[in-house]
Amino acid sequence: MSIRAKICGLSTPEAVDAAVAGGASHAGFVFYPPSPRNLTPAAAAGLIARLPGHVTPVALVVDADDAAIEAILAAAPVKIIQAHGRETPERVAAIGSRFGLPVMKAVGIAGPEDVAIAHAHEVVADLLLLDAKPPKKGLPGGNGLVFDWQLIAGEAWKKPWFLAGGLTPDNVTLAIRTAGAPAVDVSSGVERAPGVKDLDLIAAFLAAVASVEG
Give me the helices (H) in 10-111, please.
13-22, 41-48, 66-75, 89-99
Catalytic residue among 8, 65, 66, 198: 8
- The tens digit of pLDDT for each residue in 98-119 reads 999 999 999 999 999 999 999 9
- The tens digit of pLDDT for each residue in 119-131 reads 999 999 999 999 9
% of the chain residues with pLDDT over 90: 91
To the nearest 10°, report the CA torsion of 163, 83, 143, 6: 40
- The tens digit of pLDDT for each residue in 139-155 reads 555 556 789 999 999 89
- Predicted local confidence at residue 143, as pLDDT: 55
Which of the four pLDDT bands, split at 50, 70 and 90, describes residue 133? confident
- The tens digit of pLDDT for each residue in 54-98 reads 999 999 999 999 999 999 999 999 999 999 999 999 999 999 999
The answer to whether 200 is a known catalytic residue is: no
Residue 68 CA, distance from chain mean position: 19
The answer to whether 114 is a known catalytic residue is: no
Domain assignment of residue 188, given as a range: 4-213
Q: Which of 49, 19, 34 is nearest to 198 (CA)?
A: 19
Pairing relation of β-strands 26-31 and 56-61? parallel
- Predicted local confidence at residue 83, as pLDDT: 98
Q: Which of 18, 16, 5, 68 is nearest to 46 (CA)?
A: 16
Catalytic residue among 131, 185, 198, 200: 131
Which of the four pLDDT bands, split at 50, 70 and 90, describes residue 138? low
- CATH code for the domain of 179: 3.20.20.70
Number of domains in the chain: 1
